[in-house]
Chains A and B, each alone.
Chain A
Amino acid sequence: MLFVTCPNCGSRPFEEFRYGSVFPVTPEIITDDDRRNVDYAWMQDNIEGPTLERWFHESGCRRWFTAKRDTRTDEWLDI
């Protein structure tokens, strides 16, 4: 079973969580505000490897947190 570590509650089964999205990071080379907004909202990178993600502990503290997961191995790198 895949476990996720909630910063408030500790390690819990994956089923207790809701996946939010990839934590959007807009490249600094995009400087125009409108283009930054478009990139933030619509341009998904679909990264293979370590990825920042938003997760919601739905069955516990009901708080959002940001976690770093390796999408190739499902290893949690940093929470």
Chain B
Amino acid sequence: MLACEPLIGWRIIADPSALDTAAWPAGSTVVRISPDDVYVIGVAEPTVSDPHAIVTPEHGFNGATLTAAQVADIAMRHIEWQLPSSRPALAQGQIAGVPSKLVLHADGSALLLVATAAHHELVARIGALA
């Protein structure tokens, strides 16, 4: 079964240009949910140039690291839409009917993100992986 652990990160709602130009520390994972919304993991306390930005701790996601083979397995069995062909990329949508995000890395692996309240359901629906 998938090990989907709670994540502690930061959620930043800010002007898109401030997020475009923000400098994130090396090693951090930046998930650009929408032009004005970003979720960052691995940062002590992020700052952006927008003085009106909302920067708040985000405890609402669980995550699991997937190998390239596991990504392919999930895509084949549980995703009804097309994954992006380029890497790195962010793919957002339903996986096994549960709203999820896939942070696709250049090496083919991925970070699977799902709302904490729904992670048991997603893990149960995905079941055993390749």
For A, the interface residue count at a CB cutoff of 8 angstroms equals 16
Contact: A13 with B80, CB < 8 Å? yes
| Structural contact, B84 and A59, CB atoms closer than 8 A | no
| Chain B interface, DSSP helix/strand/loop, else mixed | strand
**A60 and B92 contact, CB distance less than 8 A:** yes
Q: With an 8 A cutoff between CB atoms, is B67 at the interface? A: no
- CB of A61 within 8 A of CB of B34, answer yes
- Give Cα distance in the complex from A12 to B101, angstroms: 13
Q: Is the CB of A60 within 8 A of B80?
A: no
A60 CA / B33 CA spacing, docked (Å): 8
Number of A-B contacts (CB under 8 A): 40
Tell me which residues across on chain B come within 8 A of A60, comparing CB atoms. Answer: 92-93, 99
Contact of A58 with B by CB under 8 A = yes
Interface pair A13/B99, CB less than 8 Å apart: no
Q: Which residue numbers of B lie inside 8 Å of A, CB to CB?
A: 33-35, 37, 80-82, 84, 91-94, 99
Partner of A59, one of B35, B37, B93: B93
Cα distance A15–B92 in the bound complex, in angstroms = 14
Q: Which residues of B contact A11 (CB under 8 A)?
A: 81-82
- Knowing A60-B99, A61-B34, say if A9 contacts B94 (CB, 8 Å): no
Q: Is A44 an interface residue (CB 8 A)?
A: no
